[in-house]
Amino acid sequence: MSLDRFQRLAIVGATGAVGREALRILHERGVSSSRIVALASGRSDGARLPYADRSIMVAPTTASAIESCDAALFCADADTARALAPGAARAGVLVVDNSSAFRLDPSVPLVIPEVNPHTLDASTPPRLVANPNCSTVILLTAIEPIRRAFGVSSIIVSTYQAVSGAGLAAIDELRAQTRAALEGAPLPPLIFPESCAFNLFPHESPVEPDTGMNAEERKVVAEARRILNDPGLSITPTCVRVPVERAHSQSITLELDAPATAEQVRALLRAAPGVEFLEPPDRPPTPLRAAGRDPVLVGRVRIDPDSGGRRLSLWVCADQLRKGAALNAVQILEALGTPPGCALRATRAGDAVISSPPFSGAIPAHHDHARA
């Protein structure tokens, strides 16, 4: 599977953390700079972004610029996506959106290629596809082989989220606060509600007064239920921001429908698409090991000895800018660009794998349901 079908590929939000990562991944996949249209806000007009051994000029984000392309990766905010993505899709552009704008819109597929590729296997393929939240992508990629084999009735997950999930300015804030704290002159927080240096705190998204869940936790619940087509699935997330620049971590505990042994789970993880199972106890998944890499790192498989083989815990780390965002979006685009006679099935980490049957290329009607 390749991106050869797309002669002009727009990156909307190219100057942000996810947009820059998307450019790196496209270069790794051999996409020529002449095929890339880098778009951002007007204040970045004329800036140049590195690409391979040259640079790409950034242009303002406009409907006409996007609609001049065959495909578009939206790496901007939800407002930009709501304003421009539906029109681009109606104009025939294949759109993959990284924002939250369309994730719960029933007319827009929400896709992790290793988990629900069948949502793209249709006689009338979608022109607009939503990329899930990074924490959802990491969680479901890690547990999918276990869920398919044994079933899952409950998920308890605590996330330890790197500051880069809040953008490039958040990395600058962590570095500046760390230097200042070491010099004995702490800086006040600007991006986050609390200092991120030498500290951790609940995710900064708004808290729902009725449930006590913050918006990040609510996204994990709603998106996982939708992707797994299991509206009654019990999911208890706790999302925490930690002083790490890049790569999210998760502590996951599953209640299984059928009993499993630790060795059975390890065997599944060794063969799982999108996963790298780290077995040695002295080499566990860590953010440093995950940063800049494609696979979701999984380790520390433990079966609760008092659960009859039905309670399983894992430790997971993954680069949220790659598999949690840009890489997952590129994999979706590769699936949408699959030539007739082929269709997507589960993928290896960073790769695409082809089977059958075809997309038709028809453009279905789209309904723009605005979401915060």
- pLDDT, average across residues 38-53: 90
| Whether the domain at 9-132+324-336 and the domain at 135-322 fall into the same CATH topology | no
Helix %, strand %, coil % of the chain (to 5): 30, 25, 45
Average per-residue pLDDT for the chain:
90
- Residue ranges of the domains in the chain? 9-132+324-336, 135-322
**Is residue 101 a contact partner of residue 361, using CB atoms and an 8 Å limit?**
no
Q: What is the pLDDT of residue 46?
A: 86
Q: At 122, is the pLDDT very low, low, confident or very high (cuts 50, 70, 90)?
A: low
Q: At 52, is the pLDDT very low, low, confident or very high (cuts 50, 70, 90)?
A: confident
- Helices (H), ranges, 11-68: 17-28, 63-67
**362: number of Cβ within 10 Å:** 10
Q: Which helix (H) or strand (E) holds 130?
A: strand 128-130
Amino acid at 229: N
Q: Is it the case that residue 22 has pLDDT exceeding 70?
A: yes
- pLDDT, average across residues 329-353: 64
* Highest CATH level, class, for 135-322: alpha beta
Exposed, middle or buried by CB within 10 Å (0-12, 13-18, 19+), for 198?
exposed
Catalytic residue (choose from 75, 196, 248, 366): 248
Based on the residue annotation, tell me whether 203 is a catalytic residue of this protein.
Answer: no
Amino acid at 177: Q
Supply the DSSP symbol for 163: G
Q: At 352, is the pLDDT very low, low, confident or very high (cuts 50, 70, 90)?
A: very low
Supply the DSSP symbol for 68: T
Question: What Å distances lie between residue 181 and 168, 184, 196, 205, CA to CA?
Answer: 20, 5, 11, 25
Alpha carbon distance 60, 65 (integer Å): 8
Q: Which helix (H) or strand (E) holds 180?
A: helix 168-182
Q: What is the pLDDT of residue 53?
A: 83
Instruction: Give first-to-last CA distance, the chain, whole Å.
Output: 34
Q: Is it the case that residue 271 has pLDDT exceeding 80?
A: yes
Based on the residue annotation, tell me whether 248 is a catalytic residue of this protein.
Answer: yes
Q: What is the pLDDT of residue 114?
A: 96
> Residue 326 in 3-state DSSP?
helix
Q: What is the pLDDT of residue 342?
A: 53
Q: What is the pLDDT of residue 358?
A: 28
Per-residue model confidence as pLDDT tens digits over 157-186? 999 999 999 989 999 999 999 999 999 999
Question: Peptide bond preceding 357: is omega within 30 degrees of 0, i.e. cis?
Answer: yes
Q: Which helix (H) or strand (E) holds 89?
A: helix 78-90
**Is residue 108 a contact partner of residue 129, using CB atoms and an 8 Å limit?**
yes
Per-residue model confidence as pLDDT tens digits over 312-335? 999 999 999 999 999 999 999 998
Exposed, middle or buried by CB within 10 Å (0-12, 13-18, 19+), for 207?
middle
- pLDDT, average across residues 55-59: 95
The token pair at 210 is: 């009725």
- pLDDT, average across residues 279-287: 89
- Candidates 178, 316, 326, 324; CA nearest to 244 is 178
Q: What's the predicted TM-score (pTM) here?
A: 0.89
Q: Is it the case that residue 356 has pLDDT exceeding 70?
A: no
Residues 6 or more apart whose Cβ sits within 8 Å of residue 293: 319, 322
- pLDDT, average across residues 227-241: 98
Count of alpha carbons within 13 Å of 336, Cβ hemisphere only?
Answer: 28
* Highest CATH level, class, for 9-132+324-336: alpha beta
Catalytic residue (choose from 69, 75, 134, 239): 134
Per-residue model confidence as pLDDT tens digits over 188-227? 999 999 999 999 999 999 999 999 999 999 999 999 999 9
Weakest-pLDDT range from 21-25, 38-42, 118-122, 366-370: 366-370
> Residue 55 in 3-state DSSP?
strand
- Candidates 156, 155, 194, 159; CA nearest to 173 is 194
